Amino acid sequence: MVQASQGYEKASGPGNGSQESANTAVANASAVVADTPPDPSGPAARTAVEAPRPKRREAFFDNAKYLAIVLVAVAHSWEPLMDGSRATKALYMVVYTFHMPAFIIISGYFSRSFTATPRQLKRLVTGVAVPYIVFETAYSLLRWAGEKPHHLTVSLQDPWFLTWFLIALFVWRLTTPLWRAIRHPLPVALVIAMLASFCPSISGDLALPRVLQFLPYFVLGLCLKPEHFRLVRRREVRLLSAPVFVCAVAFAYWIAPRFASGWLYHNTSAEDLGHAWWTGPAMQLGLFACSLALTACFLSWVPNRPMWFTVLGAGTICGYLLHGFLIKGAGFAGVFDDHPWLSAPAGEVVVTLLAAVAVTLLCSPPVRRTFRWAVEPDMGWAFRPQD
């Protein structure tokens, strides 16, 4: 998930706020009568100091988001290299099976309190819709500069490369109150995804096939509770994850020459991939099961304590949106075509390390501050004051 502009915290109850205000007033009044300042260590002073304290972030989720964004960047860097390497394609298939599902599940988990209040809608617009417009336009300019013949087309209804996630997240969060209201949301979302997988008539506008086919992962995140994440971090799950990943890589290596990577993108129908219509729903269920298993294995190894990269978890939206310029820019510049040694094992290692280092730097606080105007703009001028 790339988790854009979260923070749907619940407001404190009016009773508590009134009691704290009363305590503060009594303490200050007593100080005036006694002609002495209030006790700086008293409850009134502590309330005044502690009130603005932001909600504490959980290291586990920041760690998970950072590690997942590294896998996203690495997998994108493998795309120009995997045609001549069966092993690289196998690793690519395994990573693609769970890296976006993991992001989307976490995004759904942090959207549980979304009730479409004015404050939440403002954050949704400034943290998701506006970055989509900015980066879809920027990627269109990059494609215009890199492709020949040059033809500038800026179509906000047709996301290119990785901006589809923003428009999908916008739609998913808007529908969150509905999924929280119905009795069996996950089965309903799975049925919708299965139907979308064999309907070639579904328009590609606004990445609708991906919005529908990735929907179950977001709905699953809405249904999860903290104890579910504690469950996957148990020692037994961690020990089991190693053989599961080994088996997954071995299976992917065996099937790689006969497997169409388009199944992993969830952006088209079974018929468009040259298969019978019924294979779409079957693949949706199969990939959903595989993605959940690998996501659980991935999360089981995510550290639960603060690490050197924990702070980078808050900037994954920057890493996600910016690393595409490096990947596509290198492709347009002919880096992969002009240096065939990059397709050799040693070259693939170099590309992997460069992608990991680059996305790490793009998630850093200085980069996040530099691009805050595009990723997390302050658009108070566009909204009415809230009471």
Sequence spans of domains, the chain: 14-50, 59-382
CA nearest to 216, candidates 314, 324, 292: 292
CA nearest to 332, candidates 114, 143, 57: 143
pLDDT of residue 380: 87
pLDDT of residue 385: 85
pLDDT averaged over 10-residue windows placed end to end, the chain, 387 residues: 43 39 38 38 42 69 96 95 90 96 96 94 95 95 86 86 95 97 96 92 88 97 96 94 96 94 92 91 96 97 95 95 95 91 92 97 96 92 82
pLDDT of residue 146: 87
pLDDT of residue 8: 39
Range list of β-strands (E), 158-234:
none
Please report which helix (H) or strand (E) contains residue 296, including its range. helix 279-300
Q: What tokens were used for 167?
A: 């428009």
Q: For residues 256 and 365, what is the distance between their CA atoms, to the nearest angstrom?
A: 39
pLDDT of residue 387: 59
Q: What tokens were used for 242?
A: 């190693």
In sequence order, which residues have a C-beta less than 8 Å from that of residue 178 and are 6 or more positions away?
none
Q: How many CA atoms lie within 13 A of 216 on its CB side?
A: 23
Q: For residues 356 and 282, what is the distance between their CA atoms, to the nearest angstrom?
A: 34
pLDDT of residue 101: 96
Torsion 113-316-252-269 (CA) sign: positive
Residues written for the chain:
387
Angle at 68 between CA 119 and CA 171, to 5 degrees: 35
The pTM (predicted TM-score) of the whole model is 0.84
Q: For residues 242 and 271, what is the distance between their CA atoms, to the nearest angstrom?
A: 35
